[in-house]
Structure 1
């Protein structure tokens, strides 16, 4: 009788007597839908950052491309549910993809701090990028090492525990970033900067940044619980949770920046802009200065 190992390389049809690595057969409809959604967002981001020459914003397009690869692999798995290449491909890409979105958010917050002045943040703009991107890379390395152990060993428990440690570290670093972002809003409120942001294009960008951060955080909590339950846990073996708490949330996380693209909404950097912002804040807070 054939086993999963025997048919892991080919493209065998689903059989009730052989369990797939997913615990189910991935939905082809969901796979195609998310391929289209991330593909459209990717093309839009490429056009947007090219027109505005905001090359750093290419991280959103790269993240979309990574999501597209992952969902393409799940579409492949809908026809070939036992193919190990497709399974490993979707695991690696869909875990990595959100880090490109968070990198873009780190840059946006850094640009806002640069515009409004160093006093608006506990950290400098460059430190945001270096600290939190480094944490993301470390977490991905830990998760990759755990995945390698889980796939190479007969007992996948040590590898699974290593992967959980990596994703918990990622969640912890994201939590630290959220706290820093909250501190920025607190300082901005105290300095009167929110009055500037609330009445112009920065309001849209700030709202997009908050929404994207919230959905990425929810997704990170979900993936942490999912992996903590193990490869045969309830969450990981029910596709509806993955579609709703990963696929849909990541479409929102990156799609909101198609609508509120930082290339159009971020002010130009430089001391002149920061000085102008400071003067405008004083005018808002002191009617006699108008």
Structure 2
């Protein structure tokens, strides 16, 4: 390594010089994923995907474009701050999509198997996700303010705030995963949390827009034929949607654990200053999560052959409540 390169590394806020081709690959992947999610959101009229998956993909694309900039100007603070703030908050938008989708899945399996109604399930965890997002954003702003001071101040306080936001997000995801598994087990064993009152099928299709989510879903469930297993056939669209939800949750969880360990080590720790860890344990899981949700997309897997669309009834009621 020549003296000039070593000097650039010493002056870099990363502790290394981001590799140009790696950054370019991730810009292309996240840009493509964001474009595809935008097209699919419009195609299936799933407008709630814009503030969730599309927003998350856009943040990642901007963050990695900033890292491309950093590869050419490794000592510049502006791209460093840009990538730090966008990549730290991006997964929060994606987890919000998972929370909404789980609410829809619960409504399909039967709300009586869940401790919370589909609407409140989504609301509770989206509020928690929003709280985690705000905490991480505040931490990012605090760290950014510290590194821009002359002379630069210690950004560890901001890192600790970001750590709190990520830890809060992991706790929320853990509770969400535990409750989701409980729902699937209860469906499997046919042990509902509560019994729903018998519902006569209604001939008024528009009534669902004005009724409560619980009564609407009770009516839907009463009209559906009983199935075996987890309430859906093996290889069915609903089972594939649950698979998609499980995979993306695990991938985002891996990224969250990495970020937690990274920030515990401090701003100058061995993990945060090693590029390969960030590329493999942050960017790669989120990339896989984005494309998993494209291949196993709710527009295809949760669309019913008849009746109102997913976005108009099941998610629409959550959006209006939030």
**TM-score, scaled relative to structure 2:** 0.75
Deviation at 1:144, TM superposition (A): 2.7
Alignment of 1:1-290 (within 5 A): 15-16=7-8, 18-58=10-50, 59-153=52-146, 154-191=153-190, 192=228, 194-268=230-304
CA spacing shift, 1:14–1:131, aligned 2, 3 Å: farther
CA spacing shift, 1:155–1:269, aligned 2, 3 Å: farther
**1:56-111 CA distance string (max 9 Å, x none):** 23322221111100100111100011111101110111011111211111111111
**Does the CA contact (< 8 Å) of 2:70 and 2:80 recur in 1?**
yes
**Does the CA contact (< 8 Å) of 2:53 and 2:290 recur in 1?**
yes
Distance, in Å, in 2 between the alignment partners of 1:267 and 1:118 is 18
CA spacing shift, 1:109–1:20, aligned 2, 3 Å: same
Distance, in Å, in 1 between the alignment partners of 2:285 and 2:24 is 16
The aligned residue for residue 287 of structure 1 is none
**Does the CA contact (< 8 Å) of 2:125 and 2:172 recur in 1?**
yes
Distance, in Å, in 2 between the alignment partners of 1:166 and 1:272 is 37
Q: Work out the number of aligned pairs and report it.
A: 262
**Does the CA contact (< 8 Å) of 2:85 and 2:141 recur in 1?**
no
Deviation at 1:272, TM superposition (A): 10
Where 2:11 maps in the other structure, the secondary structure is coil
5+ long unaligned stretches in structure 1: 1-11, 274-290
Deviation at 1:13, TM superposition (A): 8.3
Larger deviation: 128-137 or 244-253? 128-137
Where 2:10 maps in the other structure, the secondary structure is coil
CA spacing shift, 1:17–1:60, aligned 2, 3 Å: closer
Distance, in Å, in 2 between the alignment partners of 1:54 and 1:223 is 30
**Does the CA contact (< 8 Å) of 1:73 and 1:89 recur in 2?**
yes
Larger deviation: 154-163 or 121-130? 154-163
Distance, in Å, in 2 between the alignment partners of 1:45 and 1:91 is 23
**Does the CA contact (< 8 Å) of 1:98 and 1:250 recur in 2?**
yes
Following TM superposition, where does structure 1 have runs of at least 4 consecutive aligned residues deviating by more than 4 angstroms?
269-273
**Does the CA contact (< 8 Å) of 1:67 and 1:97 recur in 2?**
yes
**TM-score, scaled relative to structure 1:** 0.83
Deviation at 1:43, TM superposition (A): 1.5
CA RMSD of aligned residues (A): 2.4
Distance, in Å, in 2 between the alignment partners of 1:102 and 1:42 is 15
The aligned residue for residue 4 of structure 1 is none
